[in-house]
Amino acid sequence: MLDSSVRAHRKQLAAVQAVVSKAGSCEEEPRPSPPSSSAHVALEQGSIQTTPIGFIISCFSVKNGTPRQPNICSPSRAELRIQRSVFNNPEHALLGLDRYSHVWIIFLFHKNGHLSYKAKVKPPRLNGQRVGVYSTRSPHRPNAVGLTLARLDKIEGDTLHLSDIDMIDGTPVLDIKPFIPEYDSPEVRINPNPQPSDSQTEPLNKETNVLDLNEDSDKEDDEDRNVVGDGRSLPSELCRVLEEVKTFVAQDDMSHHDSKCKKQVSECKNAKRSSRTSDNLCYGEQDRAAIASWIRDPPVSCLDVRFTPHAEEQLAQFLPAHLSDGRPRFKFLHSSDEAVAAIRGVLSADPRSVYRRTRCRDKLFFFTIDTADITCWFGHGFVEVLQVRPVGQRDVTV
């Protein structure tokens, strides 16, 4: 009985000692680093958590028919409102941006559908040929980040009004940067040959003026050569001596002027030679932008866009946003003519995927632009718009 009590007491003491030792080891553990420090380390390692500064409100509501590049559809428009969760006063962040005509928009491809990516892709313009993903602008990349150059039409408060866009509605925007041709365009960086400045030509002008004055004084002397102030004539011998002195002075001035001109011409040649050398080093032909040949001359040619009379009548029923009389109206496009130009821009570039273009038998194609649903079909070298209906009223029996 006594032995069992002793053993139980020893177990209790061992349990207490274990708890005490654990408590001591916890006190000796280092404190975790503050969140700010861990965030700084993550930034240095290239691991960041992005926060959208706003979301695009676009005339393209779905992926189908959205241009792959911003210059395909000039009438395309969008709005970007800066979120107040990012800046308490978004207007302050946009101060001065209205001085630029174009802006870079950095955004996320949020409608990729999957996060997988491959080292080689098939750009639609190459019609099935494979190239490296980094030689294209494919949305399927390790980091689904997009970059587009948009026209900045105006800024109203915390909202940017954009055109020439290729982003669908709801696109998260990560950043905005102004487009500066002197920094962003290699063609603008190539300096022309420097022109001589006024300071270089000024000494020549001064010398020319001196010569002009000498010529004028010579003419005056020719007129009054043999006459003094009181009207008396000078002796011919004295006149001859004075003439020789004048000729000597003129020759000395001319020789001095010629030497200065030669020196300046030599300096100008050296300056031009050095400028050409610096141009070759910094702004030569190697700085001109080069692109893949399939960008300018793709295997896929542009399509001829046609409208049926019925589609033209339907499109003419749409009104601009500022008008309303019961008929359908646009939100972004300003007129039916502008809508025709936008539809032509989208369809002439053939927005179909390579699969739909080469393997799919269904020639019908649907897409949405602004508040209009477009139905069309593709033939050999052309595409024809069959009907234009307000969004939500598409008739698929065409």
Give the class (CATH, top level) of 54-188. Answer: mainly beta
| Whole-number pLDDT of residue 45 | 83
Mean of the per-residue pLDDT values of the chain: 78
Helix (H, G, I), strand (E, B) or coil at 171: coil
Query: By mean pLDDT, which of 116-120, 279-283, 360-364, 366-370 is the weakest?
Result: 279-283
Provide the whole-model pTM: 0.65
Nearest-angstrom CA–CA distance, 384 and 252 = 85
Q: Tell how far CA 272 is from the center of its chain.
A: 33
Angle, helices 236-282 vs 198-223, to 10°: value is 170
The full set of domain ranges for the chain reads 54-188, 300-390
Higher pLDDT among residues 395 and 269, named by residue: 395
User: Which of 115-129, 240-254, 272-286, 333-347 reaches the highest mean pLDDT?
Assistant: 333-347
Q: Residue 121's CB: how many other CB atoms inside 10 A? A: 19
pLDDT tens digit sequence for 188-215: 766 544 454 444 444 444 444 433 444 4
Q: Is the pLDDT of residue 175 over 60?
A: yes
Higher pLDDT among residues 289 and 195, named by residue: 289
Residue 58 buriedness (CB in 10 A; 0-12 / 13-18 / 19+): buried
| Whole-number pLDDT of residue 365 | 94
CB 191 within 8 A of CB 279: yes
Please name the helix (run of DSSP H) or strand (run of DSSP E) that holds residue 79, with its range, or none.
Answer: strand 77-82
Q: Do domains 54-188 and 300-390 have the same CATH topology?
A: no
Q: Is the pLDDT of residue 284 over 70?
A: no
CATH architecture of structural domain 300-390: 2-Layer Sandwich (3.30)
pLDDT tens digit sequence for 338-363: 999 999 999 999 999 888 888 888 88
- C-alpha angle 206-209-213 in degrees, rounded to nearest 5: 140
Q: Is the pLDDT of residue 259 over 60?
A: no
